[in-house]
Amino acid sequence: MYTYNIIKKSITYSSLVLVAALTSCSKDYLEIESFGTPEVENFYQNPADAEQALNAAYSPMREIYGKENFWAVMGTDIIQGDIGTDDFIKGGNRLNDNLPLFEKESYTISSTNVAIEQTWQTNYKGILYANLILNKVVNIAFDDANRKKEILAEAHFLRAYYYFDLVNSFGGVPLIDKLQTAGEYDIPRATTQETYIFIENDLKAAIADLPSRFTKTTAYLGHADKGAALGLMMRVSLYQNKMDQVKTYGEQLFALPYVLQNYATIFQVEGEWSPESIYEINFVTNASILGTGITQRISPRSKKGGGFMQATDDLLNEFEANDPRKAATFYKLNEPTAYGTGWYIRKYSWAPYSNYASPTIGGTTNSANNIRVMRLSDAYLMYAEAIYRTDAPTAVAYVNKVRKRARGTAASTVVPDLALTLSGDPLRDAIYHERRVELAGEGYRYHDLIRTGRIQSVLVPRGFIAGKNEVMPIPYSQVTLSKGILLQNNY
């Protein structure tokens, strides 16, 4: 439940984010007794205010992966998400180090899990900020009407992004599209289907009015654009098994000038916002601590990290012989005092395991690694999965684009092309294999196993309880605050 307490906290935080813009407000602002009112009644006056409000709406997206919110980072799909699958074990200092992650690994997840609570709270904070834009900026007069459309479209994208994280985590959740007042805070959960419809409607609005980043200057990078909205719509559709929609939005995405890049460089400094990147979250090492916390959490303990997210032999053995992606994705470091396999994710790492320098500004763990939210190869594989039964030759062609890029300049016997005659279940399984190795360590395995019905063979032997662990428990604090309006999942 997005309760009054959370709204108060969010508005307070928003005040800090937007303080630079408040100098244009009247002196009356200083005399208002009700804290939190200025943003609603006095702040949204001009285009500059709207841009500041948009910056605030992006801040929870960054916070989820950021340095300052330890438990929000622990709740991300990159870390908590794939723990407990056949790809990653928790790692760390010992078996039960970090209780929230241990609960996920052992499928003994409690409703007081602090990482899960941060997933709820941080996403709803983002929804509040997006709603402030959609309810207030619409009334601001702009000389540049096109920019006003873009700001509103970005807010639609952000609200969809936050709700998609929530529906993947909890199933149906309370849907909020307006600014709430006293007495309106206790909203019951929508169904999962209703939540997805809400997300799709937001993304349709975003797609209609967002420009492509390829028509903008580099200063625009980090803003949601048409490609980001199309890519997210593909993923939203895939997770609902709406394969016709995946195909439709994929074809619109592929009309934009995205291009696959050298796999070894995608997660390096030079790979940031490459023509393969559909969307990234920007991070920087600076005194304002605007870096990501992901790198620290998954780095070895001897390298200033937590040692979490260590790869299983099962995942390592999934790679074909000589597949260059294996070395580009993992590195081995034996730590006798640590718990785990010793295989760490290279994709979000510091030197010497990548060319991202170890941070020295804003703390020694304040990393500049951008988070790659979506890449072109992911979109190609989603598209192939959507059409493999209706157009197998085209599906094979899209998988082979990914495999050809994987081998690079190596001989054609390295990650060889799929046979053009491949079809049916063998083709489906080849697509599943390709997703697993291409996207390893990026946080998709858990959701892929659930949405494709492979939980009995892969997850149940690891302690997963079918009919329960497909979603997380609603945080106990939210159920309590709702006074029974929020119904708990099967926990």
pLDDT tens digits, one per residue of 173-224: 999 999 888 777 789 999 999 999 999 999 999 999 999 999 999 999 999 9
Token representation of residue 65: 């992966």
Residue pLDDT, tens place only, 302-333? 999 999 999 999 999 999 999 999 999 999 99
Do 152 and 134 form a contact (C-beta atoms < 8 A)?
A: yes
Helix (H), strand (E) counts: the chain: 18, 6
Q: Provide the 10 A C-beta neighbour count for residue 244.
A: 11
Cα 448 from Cα 81, distance rounded (Å): 11
DSSP-derived letter for residue 457 is: I
Note the pLDDT of residue 4: 33
Cα 205 from Cα 19, distance rounded (Å): 29
What share of the chain in percent tops pLDDT 70? 92
For 202, the enclosing helix (H) or strand (E) is helix 192-209
Token representation of residue 490: 């099967």
Supply the mean pLDDT for the chain: 91
Note the pLDDT of residue 415: 98
Note the pLDDT of residue 40: 62
**Minimal CA–CA distance to 173: which of 116, 135, 221, 124?**
124
DSSP 411-431: -TTSSPPPPTT--HHHHHHHH
Domain ranges in the chain? 4-282+372-469
Distances (CA, A) of 456 to 353, 383, 472: 36, 25, 18
- Which of 388 and 96 is assigned the larger pLDDT? 388
- CATH classification of 4-282+372-469, choosing from 1.25.40.390, 1.20.1250.20, 3.40.50.300, 3.30.420.40? 1.25.40.390
Largest CA distance in the chain: 74
Which residues partner with 88 through β-bridges?
83, 311
Residue pLDDT, tens place only, 114-161? 999 999 999 999 999 999 999 999 999 999 999 999 999 999 999 999
Q: Note the pTM of the prediction, 2 decimals.
A: 0.92
> Is the pLDDT score of 52 beyond 70?
yes
pLDDT band at 287; cut points 50, 70, 90: confident
Cα 130 from Cα 10, distance rounded (Å): 12
Cα 239 from Cα 463, distance rounded (Å): 23
Residue pLDDT, tens place only, 391-401? 999 999 999 99
Note the pLDDT of residue 335: 86
Which residues partner with 344 through β-bridges?
331
